[in-house]
Amino acid sequence: MTKIVRAKTAAVKLRPAKGKPAKARKGSPDIERIRAIFARFEASNPEPKGELEYVNVFTLLVAVVLSAQATDAGVNRATRALFAEAPSPQAMLALGEEGVRERIKTIGLFRAKAKNVVALSAKLIQDFGGDVPRTREALESLPGVGRKTANVVLNIAFGEKTIAVDTHLFRVSNRIPLARGATPEAVERGLMALIPDQYMLHAHHWLILHGRYICKARKPLCGICPIEDLCEFPDKTLVPPLRQMPAP
């Protein structure tokens, strides 16, 4: 039986580090403030992981391609059976576009994604001997693979210090703020220049998980945010603690 790797997260368990909290400085990014933010993320979740399930580097690549404009949970439900049948480019190519389409039809844009998955499988076999390449340029030459997907694969599979900017990370970086930018690539460049090297490997996971579970789009959970005192967002949704009910 094919072994599934499930990457779990402790993002919702984040708590402020002990000791006197650092004060946020208004204005341009401050390196000590940024270092304090990531130190708290690291203290609460030393080894953050993504939430897509995969069995090898190839299936990780496919999972990330399928996750565009879809939830990780939805992709996982569809890919468990797919990866059991087709854990390699050769098996995926043999399954064919119709076979892939049938197995991922619960995912948004499944027709286009099935076409890309089969096409990238063929290109991996033809140009890379069936192996997933280790450079961004080579990854981006594959059908359906853009900069964000390449950065995820480089980070998770090959341990590269990359920043994959999804909608959550884009929002968090602009909101806290860390690096502001009008485009994902601008935010990526800003973060690469600002984040201390010791935190770079896990930085994009911390930020994505923080945006997914705490710093939400419509109503951020500022009352339980571990970096609330370091955040400069003006419209925080702080909720006072519930009062203790008197004993009967």
Which CATH number is 128's domain given?
1.10.340.30
Q: Are residues 152 and 168 in the same domain?
A: no
Q: Are residues 73 and 35 in the same domain?
A: no
Q: Are residues 68 and 140 in the same domain?
A: yes
Q: Are residues 196 and 219 in the same domain?
A: yes
Number of domains in the chain: 2
Q: Are residues 148 and 81 in the same domain?
A: yes
| Residue 205, CA distances (Å) to 51, 130, 162 in order | 10, 28, 10
Q: Is 231 helix (H, G, I), strand (E, B) or coil?
A: coil
Round the CA-based radius of gyration of the chain to a whole number and report it.
Answer: 20
Q: Please provide the average confidence, as pLDDT, over all residues in the chain.
A: 88
Q: Are residues 62 and 150 in the same domain?
A: yes
**Residue 205 placed within a domain:** yes
Using alpha carbons, select from 14, 8, 5, 61 the residue that is nearest to residue 207: 14
pLDDT classification of 241: cutoffs 50, 70, 90: very low
Range of the domain at 192: 29-48+163-230
Over residues 25-82, the pLDDT tens digits come to 444 468 999 999 999 999 999 999 999 999 999 999 999 999 998 999 999 999 999 9
Of 129, 158, 187, the last residue of a domain is 158
**Residue 243 placed within a domain:** no
**Residue 240 placed within a domain:** no
User: What's the rounded Cα separation, in Å, for the pair 180 and 30?
Assistant: 13
pTM given for the model: 0.83
Amino acid found at 56? N
The residues annotated as belonging to the active site are 148, 166
HSE value, Cβ hemisphere, 13 Å, CA-based, for 174: 16
The residue whose two tokens read 């909101």 is 175
